[in-house]
Amino acid sequence: MSSFCLKFPTKKVYLQKYYKNQITMKFHRRVVLLVAAFMVALGSSQSFSQTAAFIGQDTVSRPITTAVPFLSISPDARAAGMGDVGVATTADVNSIYWNPAKLVFAEGKIGASLSFTPWLRKLVNDMSLSYLSAYYKLDNRQAFGFSLRYFNLGSIQFTDNQGGIIRDFVPNELAATLTYSRKLSEKLGVAVSGRYIHSNLSADLILANQQETKAGNTVAADIAVFYKTDLTVSGMESNLAFGANISNIGAKISYTNKNERDFIPTNLRLGSAFTLNIDEFNKFTVALDFNKLMVPTPPQVDSQGNIISGTSPRDKTLLSGMFGSFADAPGGFSEELKEFIIATGIEYWYNDLFAARVGYYNEHAQKGDRKYFTVGVGLRYKKLGFDAAYLLPQRETNPLAETLRFSILFNLGGKDKK
């Protein structure tokens, strides 16, 4: 990823990514790092027809990209320690992000969690992702959840062509989510979520064409399902779970006018998890997730940025973009397969008090090339819990290296360990 970031030739790319206009301003060095933040969050920069000009006329790699990529950053430490898997793992308060249909299967009647991720600390020291989540179970069959995600991109300084300071600004983005989860049976649960998304990146700048920028706002929804069944394997109790979640189904977002709107990261997540209770003290969970962005694949372009094959995402509506995303890759079926991200993880619990986790995340080299291992630990004592995760990329120069995540959990009404 780091080599990919370095291909950007100017500091103007940051707002060009969102506004696709010529900008007659020079930006502080931090803007280059902000570009890296968005690229790392989703695997690349904004695509569309102009991308080839920005990344050295690369006509082979076509990573799928969107606006507000912070929605795709794993917010909690438990899932992050397992390679960013979570659609079918055991339910907890952070199920609101991974699969809200799991929420009604959580043990406690009330739960809350606060997570914090220092972001790209090898590059800057003031970027972070904060995540607050909570749920309340009305009864054994219904649960409501709420989450708030806040992405702080750190302070930047805008200057004019002569180097004069225009203003200091702290770009930020947030997403607030409400969830309703319901059991259809003792094994099957479904859920729907509604989300408000706000992205303030520009500080109301005036572009060269006198077009005024603005904060982007949109709404989105999630639809999820979860199935769990108990099994007996060699005399040991176990369970097998399956999950599916289509998240961020929502309107495009605009930073200028209605004619320039970008897709948000609508994502399909499918997965399974198998938990084996070896005895009353020891249990293992093995999980596997598949992810696919339901967003149009960028068209194939020549060295001048002219479309050779495919269609510009700007020409597609929400529904055509979503359903067409499984058959719109210029490279055909083989390229479509490359757009699936595979994540796998293992979790070990001792007496429901201590957990150790490991995982691996793999994205194709032509679709973002995020490949990294993760490790994590978890502690539970009575009503409290703590999780931590650490990311180890395959390439030492990856700006994601040494990423840490921390989560504190509160579980009220569940089992107490004495």
Residue 18: pLDDT over 70:
no
Residue keyed to tokens 């289509």 = 246
Q: Is the pLDDT of residue 9 over 50?
A: no
Residue 6 pLDDT greater than 70, yes or no: no
pLDDT at 149 over 70: yes
Sequence-distant (≥ 6) Cβ neighbours of residue 396 within 8 angstroms:
none
Residue 40 has pLDDT above 50, yes or no: no
Looking up residue 334, the CATH number of its domain turns out to be 2.40.160.40
Higher pLDDT, 404 or 45: 404
Per-residue pLDDT at 234: 82
Residues sharing a CB contact under 8 Å with residue 140, sequence separation 6 or more, in sequence order:
183
Residue 25 counted as domain residue = no
pLDDT score of 358 more than 50: yes
The total of structural domains in the chain comes to: 1
Q: Band of the pLDDT at 44, cuts 50, 70, 90? A: very low
Whether 1 is in a domain gets the answer no
| Nearest Cα to Cα of residue 36 among 44, 28, 27 | 44
Closest CA relative to residue 95, chosen from 274, 245, 195, 272: 245
Q: What is the reported pLDDT for 248?
A: 97
More confident residue, 13 or 89: 89
Residue 53 in any domain: the answer is: no
In which domain, by residue range, is 168 found?
A: 69-412
How confident is residue 401, by pLDDT bands cut at 50, 70 and 90? Answer: confident
Question: Residue 392 carries which side chain, given as an amino acid letter?
Answer: L
**pLDDT score at 60:** 66
pLDDT tens per residue, range 49-98 = 333 333 334 456 788 889 999 999 999 999 999 999 999 999 999 999 99
Residue 295 lies in a domain: yes
Give this prediction's pTM.
Answer: 0.84
Q: Which of 89-103, 155-169, 258-272 has the highest mean predicted lDDT (pLDDT)?
A: 89-103
Residue 368 confidence class, pLDDT cut points 50, 70, 90: confident
Report the percent of the chain where pLDDT is more than 90.
55
Name the more confident of 316 and 55.
316
Mean pLDDT over residues 298-313, rounded? 72
CB neighbour list of residue 350: distance below 8 Å, 6 or more residues apart: 281, 282
138, two tokens: 């009305």
pLDDT band of 299, cuts 50, 70, 90: confident
At 305, is the pLDDT very low, low, confident or very high (cuts 50, 70, 90)?
low
Q: Give 333-340's long-range contacts (Cβ < 8 A, gap of 24+).
A: 335/62, 335/297, 335/366, 338/364, 338/366, 338/367, 339/64, 339/292, 339/293, 339/297, 339/364, 339/367, 340/290, 340/291, 340/292
Nearest residue to 174 via CA among 194, 154, 195, 198 = 198
Separation of alpha carbons 43 and 369, rounded Å: 7
Q: Does residue 112 belong to any structural domain of this protein?
A: yes
Choose between 3 and 178: higher pLDDT.
Answer: 178
Instruction: Say if 47 falls within a structural domain.
Output: no
- Residue at 44 is within a domain: no
205 C-beta neighbours (distance < 10 Å), count: 19
Q: How confident is the model at residue 398 (pLDDT cuts 50, 70, 90)?
A: confident
Does a structural domain hold residue 390?
yes
Confidence of residue 210 (pLDDT cuts 50, 70, 90): low
